[in-house]
Chain A
């Protein structure tokens, strides 16, 4: 029996579904930013941007960009009514201090116990750059990863132990992927859901690790 991967938008919708009313949320650069488009209209969620914005709104219309109002990816955004600005030390206090409810990040690798690698490939000659990744990973009440389960070469990005340099230890609570949603804990992986038609045994084979049902 065949199965269909979740598209990027389907995956973003799946993540958005789990963001609760009243949540303070930081969406990482790249795929996680798509989640904002799928938060149900009747749910009030406040987005934080690491560069000093709470109540961040969508991109402005063409011509209305204000380059003093940008997101962490340095692209123009808007401010919702009730939004606020603050300096960098306060912004990262929101993370480190455990005030953010959820942060959604991309990843190179996640271990079954929630170790995260998403900042550096460690390749010789690569310029290292970390930004807010380490602060976000360990700071939010819940850190979720959003990614394709497999690399382009078909290798699982969920691993027993990360081979890339770590961003944080035991910090990832959930992995939302194009094939399945998984929970990470000291006991290992647990299945939350998977795409229709994908057998449990097949998923375990793809990842190469046991997954509690």
Chain B
């Protein structure tokens, strides 16, 4: 019998290795798998490369993982926030490598990895500083039908940590509102995907027409009590 329901966060994350690339879903207050991030801190893997839209807020969650010195590199689109002081400090002191990607290129690179695409030409970022590699050398470009494109590489991960709403033992998932954000594409791009859900249902309990992430992309599901979404760390001026 297939049963992807894990007994605990610790069980689901027991095999994370040092040096792993970990995708973490979420945008703003929506879709952040806080319990899994805390579980990763507990678990102890280090020298991690993180893939996330942001680079942590305040001193909890992703920022706590950074603060614990467990992250070597972060690939994201928007690290600067009113309260991203943990990232800011590590970045300025050279303790954390940053790969900045336009948000749509970030999303498509994740999707491409999950879809088995070798690389793709994107018009986004052409002629800008973000059309360069980390060493400053230009990324490959091409003119296709008179339009300029930059070659972008997929981002593969060892592990994706995402937050969903409902799931079943085959790993099928639905999401809630804008908390969907990176969840479906990160689930596709990682060798192993762990999702939290607020509700576990019997097989057949999810309308097959409404399943967003089919279970083939999901390996472990952990049920987490529903709490009011944390508004933490988002200042009005950000």
Binary interface encoding of chain B residues 73-87 relative to chain A, with 1 for a CB under 8 A from any of its CBs, else 0: 000011110001001
Roughly how many angstroms separate A132 CA and B228 CA in the complex, as a whole number?
28
Interchain CB contact under 8 A, B104 and A68: no
B2 at the interface (CB under 8 A from A): no
Binary interface encoding of chain B residues 113-124 relative to chain A, with 1 for a CB under 8 A from any of its CBs, else 0: 000000000111
Closest residue on chain B to residue A69 by CB atoms? B177
Kindly list chain B residues whose C-beta atoms are within 8 Å of the C-beta of A68. Answer: 29-31, 176-179, 229
Closest residue on chain A to residue B114 by CB atoms? A89
A177 at the interface (CB under 8 A from B): no
Roughly how many angstroms separate A89 CA and B155 CA in the complex, as a whole number?
13
Provided the pairs A68-B30, A68-B179, A69-B178 are in contact, do residues A92 and B103 lie with their beta carbons within 8 angstroms? Answer: yes
Binary interface encoding of chain A residues 34-58 relative to chain B, with 1 for a CB under 8 A from any of its CBs, else 0: 0000000000000001111100000
A134 in complex: contacting residue of B102, B111, B179, CB < 8 Å: B102
Closest residue on chain A to residue B128 by CB atoms? A166
Interchain CB contact under 8 A, A89 and B128: no
A-facing residues in B148-181 (Cβ within 8 Å): 148, 175-181
A129 at the interface (CB under 8 A from B): yes
Q: Please count the residue pairs between chain A and chain B whose beta carbons lie under 8 angstroms apart in the complex.
A: 152
B143 at the interface (CB under 8 A from A): no
Kindly list chain B residues whose C-beta atoms are within 8 Å of the C-beta of A52. Answer: 27, 178, 180-181
Smallest Cβ distance from B90 to chain A, in angstroms?
Answer: 11
Interchain CB contact under 8 A, A165 and B128: yes
Provided the pairs A50-B103, A66-B229, A68-B178 are in contact, do residues A138 and B92 lie with their beta carbons within 8 angstroms? Answer: no
Binary interface encoding of chain A residues 115-137 relative to chain B, with 1 for a CB under 8 A from any of its CBs, else 0: 00000100001011111111100
Interchain CB contact under 8 A, B238 and A73: yes
Interchain CB contact under 8 A, A139 and B124: yes
Q: Give the contact stretch, choosing among B4-12, B38-46, B62-70, B182-190.
A: B182-190
A206 at the interface (CB under 8 A from B): no
Smallest Cβ distance from A184 to chain B, in angstroms?
Answer: 16
Smallest Cβ distance from B55 to chain A, in angstroms?
Answer: 9
Chain A residues with a Cβ closer than 8 Å to the other chain, count: 43
Interchain CB contact under 8 A, A67 and B181: no
Roughly how many angstroms separate A167 CA and B28 CA in the complex, as a whole number?
23
A75 at the interface (CB under 8 A from B): yes
Closest residue on chain A to residue B235 by CB atoms? A74
Interchain CB contact under 8 A, B103 and A129: no
B107, B108, B230, B238 pick with most chain A CB within 10 angstroms: B107
Interchain CB contact under 8 A, B100 and A129: yes
B202 at the interface (CB under 8 A from A): no
Interchain CB contact under 8 A, B185 and A87: yes
Kindly list chain B residues whose C-beta atoms are within 8 Å of the C-beta of A95. Answer: 104
Kindly list chain A residues whose C-beta atoms are within 8 Å of the C-beta of B176. Answer: 68
Roughly how many angstroms separate A92 CA and B148 CA in the complex, as a whole number?
18
Roughly how many angstroms separate A67 CA and B31 CA in the complex, as a whole number?
9
Interchain CB contact under 8 A, A128 and B103: no
Closest residue on chain A to residue B183 by CB atoms? A87
Smallest Cβ distance from A156 to chain B, in angstroms?
Answer: 22
Interface residues of B (CB under 8 A from A): 27-31, 53, 77-80, 84, 87-88, 91-92, 98, 100-105, 107-108, 110-111, 122-130, 148, 175-185, 212, 228-231, 234, 236, 238
User: 23 A-B contacts, Cβ less than 8 Å apart?
Assistant: A52-B180, A52-B181, A53-B178, A68-B30, A69-B178, A73-B238, A74-B29, A74-B238, A75-B234, A86-B180, A87-B181, A87-B182, A87-B184, A89-B107, A91-B104, A128-B100, A131-B102, A132-B77, A134-B124, A134-B128, A138-B123, A169-B126, A169-B127
Interface residues of A (CB under 8 A from B): 49-53, 65-70, 73-75, 79, 85-89, 91-93, 95-96, 120, 125, 127-135, 138-139, 165-169
